[in-house]
Structure 1
C-alpha cells in the first residue's frame, strides 16, 4: 500500500472514530427534523389579533374597514367614532388598542388624501399601512367616479385580467415558474457543495493545526513528504464527509418513511391539495402536473448529476488545499481568521451571482464569466446547467477548475512544507509570500 493510501486510511479512521463525529452523524438528522417540525408548528399557530380603533368623522370609511373583519384575522377594526378623540388616545397609551385611525371631516376628498392620521405607540408594519391606504384610496376613487357621473360598476366590469400563455419556438406549450424550479435544482446542488467545502475544509484545517500543536507532525514528516501528508489529509477527510452525508440521507429517508407510515404524512401533490379541490379540478390538476413532470424529465439530468460529481470533487479539493495551507501556517484557529475571509468571499459571491444573475439571464456575460472562474464555477455553473449549457463551456470550465486545483496544490504544498514546522510566530501575508519562494 502506498504512503498516500496509508495516510488516507489513517485520516479516515481517525475522523469516523471521533466521538463528536459519531454523535453529530446520528444527531444532526434528528435536529433538522425537530427544527422543521417546530417551524411548522409556529407557522400554524394563530397570531394574536390586534385591535384597531377607528374615529371616522366623515362617516365614509368605517364600514369599509368593518367589512375586513370577516376575512382578516390579524386585525380587528372597531368603529368608535362617537367616543371623543382624546379618550381614544388615552386608551392607546394604556395599550387597550394597537392603534387609532383618525379620519377628519372635510368637504373635499383631496384633503382626505393627506390629512388622515394613524396614532400608535409603536411603528406599524409597512404591509398594514399599505392595506389601510389601499382601502381608503379605493373608497375615495369610487367617490370621485360617482361625482364625475361615471358608472363605477361598468368600470369594474371593464377591468381585465390578462393570462399570457407561454409557448416554445418549437410550438410546444411551456409553463410558468419553470425557471424558478431550475434555479432551485441547480442552487440545491451548489449549496451542498458550498456546505461541504466549509464544513470539511475547516475539518482539514483543524486536523493540521492539532497535529502541529501536539508536535506529532514532526514525527510524521520524518517518514513522508509534506505534499503526501497534505493530499492524504484532504482525501481522507473528504471520504469521511461523504460517509457522513450518506448516513444523513439514509436516516432522513427512514424518518420520512416512518412519518408517512405512523403519522399519516402524505408525500406527493395530494399532501397539500384539499380532497374536494382534487375532485372538482382533477383533470386540470393532472394535466398540469403531467406537464411539469414532463418538463423536469426534459432537463439534462445526466449532465446535472455528472457535473455535480465533477464540480464537487474539483471544488472541494481546490478549497481544501487553501484550508490545509492555512492550517500549516498558523498555530491556532484564532490566527487563521485573517486568512479565512478571502476563502469564504468567493463562495458567498458565487451564491449571490447565481441567484441574482443566473435566474434572470443564465446565458448572459456575468453568468458565463463567473461559471468559468474556478473559485466560483462549482456553484454558478451548476445553477446554469439546468437551463442548458453548451458542452464546450462545461468542458472549458472543468479544465480551468482542475488546472487551477493543481496549481493551488503546488503553491499550497510550498506553504505547507515550510509552515508545518513553524511555531510561535503569527504569519503575515508578506511572510507567506516569502515561503512560496523557498526552494528547499
Structure 2
C-alpha cells in the first residue's frame, strides 16, 4: 500500500505541476465564456446585415404587405417586366427577387410564386416571406367565401399553458429549455473529461513503456498497483480541476447576476408573476433564465457530476491503461479506440435524442442504468427530476462494474506492460486474459 500511495502522489503532482494544467484550469472557463460571447456577437452581426429583396407583384395584392421588417428591406419592381427585374437584381447584386405571377385562383397562385437568388436564401427569410403571402391569400379566401374578417380576428385566442406538477410547484416553458441546456452541457463535459483524462493515463503508460522506465518500476511495484496508482493520481487531479472550475463558475454566476440586475436569492413564483404582470406579459429573457437556473437542483447536479465523473473515469481509465500497456505508441492505440469511444458517443446521442424528448421513457431509463453509458445519460436526466432509487441503482451498477473492468484491464496490463516490438491484436489480448 505504501508503494500505491507513492505512485498516486507521483501521478497527481506530475499533473498539477504541469504548466499546461495550471494555465488551462484557470483559463478554460474564460475561454468557454469568450467562445459563447464570440458566437453571440457573430450572430448579432449576421442578424444586423440588411438583405435587400426586390419583388414583382403582378397580382397587385401584396405590395402593401411586403414592408421592411427586421433585416429585410423590400424594393418594389412591379413596374418592370419580371425578366428585366431579374437582370437588374443580378446587376445590382441584391439579395434576391420575389416574383408573384398573376393567376386565376389562389390555389394556383400559392404554388406559382418564385424566388430568384444568386446563392441559396436563408430559410428564416423565406419563412418570413411565406408567412406574409400565406396570411394575405388566407384573407382573400375568407372574403371569397363571404366570411367576416373582423369577426374571425376577434375570435382568435392565444393560449399560454401553465405547467404545474401534482405537488403544486409551478414552472414555465423556459424551465424545459434550461434543463435541456444544463443536462446537455453536463453530459457533454463529462464525456470530454473522461476522454481527456483517460488519454492522460494511456499516454503516461505508453511513455514509461517506450522509455523502458516501466521495467525498473515493475521490479518493486505490482502491475495492478501501478495501474491503480496512475488512475487514482490522474483522477484526483481531474477532481481538483473540476472543483476549481465550480468555484470560478459560482464567481462568474454572481458577477452575471449583478451585471444583469437579478437578485441572487431564490425568486419566488409570486414575484415572477408580478414582474410578468407589470411588464404587460413580457419578462426579460435573461432574468427568466437566471430564475430557472436558481430553481435547478444545482447542488444535486454538482454532486452527481462528481460521482459520475469518478465512476465513469475509473471505468474508462482502466480500459485506457490496458490499451496503453498493449501498444508501443499512440499510433498503434487507434485500432482499440473505436470500442472505447462508441459507448460514450451512444450516450450522447441517446441523451440528445431520447432524454431531452422523454427523460423518463424506456430508452432513457435503460441507458441511464448501463454502466458504459449511465455517467452521461443519467447526468442528462437529473435536471428533469429522477427518482432517488433510480440514481442509487445506476451508481451501484456503475461502481460494481468498475471491479470487473479493473480486473479485466489488469489481466491485460500485467502482460502487455513488458511486451515490446509486437503489435497486439484482439486475438492476442484474448490470450492474455487466460494467463494466470
SS of aligned partner of 1:60: coil
TM-score between both structures, scaled by the size of structure 2: 0.86
SS of aligned partner of 1:196: helix
Match of 1:144 in 2: 141
Q: Distance in 1 between matches of 2:118 and 2:80?
A: 19
State how 1:45-124 maps to structure 2 within 5 Å: 45=45, 47-65=48-66, 67=67, 69=68, 72-124=69-121
2:435 to 410, 435, 438: 438
Deviation for aligned residue 1:421: 1.2
Deviation for aligned residue 1:348: 1.8
Deviation for aligned residue 1:4: 0.4
Please list the CA deviations of residues 77-108 of structure 1 after superposition, one character each: whole Å capped at 9, or x if unmatched.
Answer: 11111123333222233243221112222333
Q: Distance in 2 between matches of 1:189 and 1:29?
A: 14
TM-score between both structures, scaled by the size of structure 1: 0.85
2:336 to 322, 339, 349: 339
Q: Quick one: structure 1 residues 422 and 39, their matched pair in 2 at CA, closer, same or farther if it must change by over 3 Å?
A: same
Match of 2:400 in 1: 403
Deviation for aligned residue 1:315: 1.2
Please list the CA deviations of residues 214-258 of structure 1 after superposition, one character each: whole Å capped at 9, or x if unmatched.
Answer: 11111110110111100000111111222233344445555677x
State how 1:377-388 maps to structure 2 within 5 Å: 377-388=374-385
Q: Distance in 2 between matches of 1:316 and 1:57?
A: 66
Q: Distance in 1 between matches of 2:8 and 2:96?
A: 66
Match of 1:266 in 2: 260
1:423 to 413, 420, 424: 420
State how 1:33-432 maps to structure 2 within 5 Å: 33-45=33-45, 47-65=48-66, 67=67, 69=68, 72-170=69-167, 173-251=170-248, 265-266=259-260, 268=262, 280-281=278-279, 304-432=301-429
Deviation for aligned residue 1:345: 1.5
Q: Distance in 2 between matches of 1:138 and 1:61?
A: 10
Please list the CA deviations of residues 294-318 of structure 1 after superposition, one character each: whole Å capped at 9, or x if unmatched.
Answer: 9966x76665454433322211100
Please tell me whether the aligned partners of residues 325 and 413 of structure 1 are also in contact (alpha carbons under 8 angstroms).
yes
Q: Which sits farther off after the overlay, 346-355 or 222-231?
A: 346-355
Q: Quick one: structure 1 residues 346 and 150, their matched pair in 2 at CA, closer, same or farther if it must change by over 3 Å?
A: same
Q: Note the aligned Cα RMSD (angstroms).
A: 3.2
Q: Distance in 2 between matches of 1:250 and 1:295?
A: 16
Match of 1:273 in 2: none
Q: Distance in 2 between matches of 1:177 and 1:266?
A: 18
Please tell me whether the aligned partners of residues 15 and 21 of structure 1 are also in contact (alpha carbons under 8 angstroms).
yes
Please list the CA deviations of residues 314-333 of structure 1 after superposition, one character each: whole Å capped at 9, or x if unmatched.
Answer: 11100110111111111111
Deviation for aligned residue 1:172: 5.4
Task: Give the unaligned 5+ runs of structure 2.
Answer: 265-274
Say how many residue pairs are matched. 423
